[in-house]
């Protein structure tokens, strides 16, 4: 219904397109993707143009749906700046079937190389590897009427389609470096199997207890990385050595620091490396999640049990590393706003991946344009600037508030 009631978009609503010039050069390499079978050379919507339209959708609050995007493509100003012709609703919705979302990953890597650490935490100097937060978040999309009818005929109900965004978030640069999209059948997903395919070397992965699996721990270590992972309250472990606590450890609510043998004697695939267990005091609570809602909330008995292969890092820092895990939850709130999850522009896995990867590019662009980590307020201010509702002085004043007095300001917008 939201798409049907969109107001007609006019030329005056689309400003700030000059900032897309550099993007056009970056995405030009995607122009021929999906054209292998187009021997007649009559394709009118190419992958680079589609991605530019997606980014326009993310940076212009006037464009709020697929129909709004189609209306924007009719404007001469948009056609000139983005190098695209008028796109029909059919071409916008169906063309993603021939676009390869994987081709956006090298562009993400290229932009990532241009980003420098924004606000490195000096307390983490003992962690030499790249600190990477790992988590998943579920997004829902209401199927089109035809799709819902088909699903209802197959399963007896026209339920929303659910997708899981398996995310690796790099703390120093405050950006997602990887997001894999998988369908979530019945609210369930094997996040550990997806994580196994996404591991890189020279990273310290911070994870919640949904990722606690001995084989996964072994693979992370074997590939030259480290992990800090909460384990389940009923995990079996034998204490090998009790390590003394410092005043700083106790101030961080660390209750114990131990070298352990994780798993029972008959456990399958026990850790093949030394494991450390840091127990942190927490507020006890019971889960308020309901079965079938997709809630991942679980009970807490008042203790956070953190397993890690980092043996020489102070226990207080292990506690700090796990505390950082909540940063990814804050990021998900921003990312879903940017992604426009209330109006996902496609309902196919490849189409959603294209939209997700474009959202990663948008996050990186915000960091490159402003010199700061992407936030909801900054994204909104950039949108108002692009729409002509805020001038450059007002945008720079907003950015100045984000910087500490001792920090140099280097926005490049």
Q: Residue 4: pLDDT above 50?
A: no
Over residues 74-97, the pLDDT tens digits come to 988 888 877 888 888 888 888 888
Q: What pTM does this model have?
A: 0.79
140-144, 316-320, 389-393: least confident range? 140-144
Residue ranges of domains in the chain: 11-105+341-402, 118-332
Judged by average pLDDT, the poorest of 54-68, 214-228, 301-315, 338-352 is 338-352
Least confident piece of the model among 14-18, 93-97, 132-136, 362-366 = 14-18
> Where residue 146 falls among pLDDT bands split at 50, 70, 90?
very low
For residues 202-232, one letter each, b for 16 or more C-beta atoms within 10 angstroms of the residue's C-beta and e for the rest, the string is: ebbbbbbbbbbbbebbbebbeeebbbbbbbe
Mean pLDDT across 41-70: 84
Q: Please say if the pLDDT value at position 42 is more than 60.
A: yes
Pick from 34-48, 129-143, 257-271, 357-371: least confident: 34-48
Q: What is the pLDDT of residue 2?
A: 42
Q: Quick one: what percent of the chain has pLDDT higher than 90?
A: 27
Q: What is the pLDDT of residue 297?
A: 55
pLDDT of residue 66: 85
| Gap between the Cα atoms of 116 and 303, Å rounded | 36
Summarize pLDDT for 258-301 with one digit per residue, the tens. 999 988 776 667 899 999 999 999 887 676 655 444 445 567 77
pLDDT of residue 395: 82
């Amino acid at each position: 219904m939201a798409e049907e009631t969109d107001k007609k978009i006019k030329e005056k609503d689309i400003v700030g397109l000059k900032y897309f010039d550099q993007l056009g050069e970056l995405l030009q390499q995607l122009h021929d993707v999906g054209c292998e079978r187009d021997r007649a050379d009559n394709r009118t919507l190419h992958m680079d143009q589609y991605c530019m339209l997606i980014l326009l959708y993310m940076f212009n609050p006037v464009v709020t749906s697929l129909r709004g995007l189609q209306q924007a493509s009719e404007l001469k100003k948009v056609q000139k700046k983005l190098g695209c012709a008028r796109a029909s609703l059919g071409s916008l919705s169906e063309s993603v079937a021939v676009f390869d979302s994987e081709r956006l990953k090298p562009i993400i890597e290229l932009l990532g190389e241009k980003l420098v650490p924004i606000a490195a935490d000096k307390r983490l100097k003992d962690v030499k590897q790249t600190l990477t937060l790992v988590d998943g978040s579920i997004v829902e999309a209401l199927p089109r009427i035809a799709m819902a009818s088909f699903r209802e005929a197959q399963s007896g109900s026209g339920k929303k389609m659910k997708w899981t965004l398996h995310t690796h978030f790099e703390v120093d640069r405050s950006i997602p470096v990887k997001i894999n999209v998988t369908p979530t059948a019945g609210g369930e997903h094997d996040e550990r199997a997806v994580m196994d395919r996404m591991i890189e070397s020279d990273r310290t992965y911070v994870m919640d207890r949904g990722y606690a699996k001995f084989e996964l721990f072994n693979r992370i270590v074997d590939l030259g990385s480290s992990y800090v992972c909460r384990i389940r309250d009923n995990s079996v472990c034998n204490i090998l050595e009790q390590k003394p606590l410092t005043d700083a450890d106790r101030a961080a609510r660390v209750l114990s620091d131990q070298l352990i043998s994780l798993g029972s004697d008959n456990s399958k695939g026990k850790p093949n490396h030394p494991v450390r267990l840091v127990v942190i005091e927490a507020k006890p609570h019971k889960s308020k999640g309901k079965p079938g809602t997709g809630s991942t909330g679980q009970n807490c008995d008042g203790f956070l049990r953190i397993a890690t292969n980092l043996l020489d890092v102070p226990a207080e820092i292990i506690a700090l590393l796990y505390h950082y895990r909540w940063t990814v939850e804050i990021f998900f709130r921003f990312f879903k706003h940017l992604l426009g999850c209330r109006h996902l522009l496609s309902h196919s896995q490849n189409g959603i991946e294209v939209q997700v990867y474009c959202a990663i590019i948008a996050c990186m662009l915000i960091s490159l344009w402003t010199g700061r980590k992407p936030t909801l307020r900054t994204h909104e201010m950039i949108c108002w600037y692009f729409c002509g509702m805020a001038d450059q002085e007002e945008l720079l004043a907003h950015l100045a508030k984000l910087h500490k007095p001792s920090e140099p300001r280097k926005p490049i917008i």
